[in-house]
Amino acid sequence: AQKITQTQPGMFVQEKEAVTLDCTYDTSDPSYGLFWYKQPSSGEMIFLIYQGSYDQQNATEGRYSLNFQKARKSANLVISASQLGDSAMYFCAMREGSHNTDKLIFGTGTRLQVFP
C-alpha cells in the first residue's frame, strides 16, 4: 500500500545552516512522483520541489534540493542556508502514476524552526 513516513515531528536549525528533513515512502508502483510542500503559519500550502521516480538526477530548486535514494525509498529535503522565513511545517507527498490510482498522499509533517 502507498505510504509516506516523516519521522521528525520537529527540527531546529540555526540561521544560515543547512538542514535535512527526512521522508521515506512505500509503493509497489514503478512510476511515482514525490513532492515537498511548505505550510507557514498562515496556512497556505506552497509547493517546493518535485522528483519523478525515473528522474536520473536529484531535483533542485534554488535553496531546496531533494536527496533521492530510490533503493532506500527515501526522498529527503535539504534546505541550504536556512532563513528565518523557512520556519514552517514541511510535508512530503507521493503520487503513484498508474491508471486510476491518482491518490496524492501526505506524511504527518515536520515542523522546522529556524533560530538566529
Partner 1 sequence: DVKVTQSSRYLVKRTGEKVFLECVQDMDHENMFWYRQDPGLGLRLIYFSYDVKMKEKGDIPEGYSVSREKKERFSLILESASTNQTSMYLCASSPRFMGANTEAFFGQGTRLTVV
HSE-CB for 45 with a 13 A CA cutoff? 9
Q: Which of 30, 44, 81, 115 binds partner 1 (CB under 8 A)?
A: 44
Sign (positive or negative) of CA dihedral 24, 95, 33, 99: positive
Q: Does 9 bind partner 1 (CB under 8 A)?
A: yes
Q: Does 40 bind partner 1 (CB under 8 A)?
A: no
Q: Does 107 bind partner 1 (CB under 8 A)?
A: yes
Count the residues of the shown chain that bind partner 1, applying the rule CB under 8 A: 24
Minimum CB–partner distance for residue 105 and partner 1 (Å)? 6
Q: Does 29 bind partner 1 (CB under 8 A)?
A: no
C-alpha cell at 84: 528565518
* Residue ranges binding partner 1 (CB under 8 A): 6, 9, 31, 33, 35, 43-45, 47, 50, 52, 91, 93, 95, 97, 100, 102-109
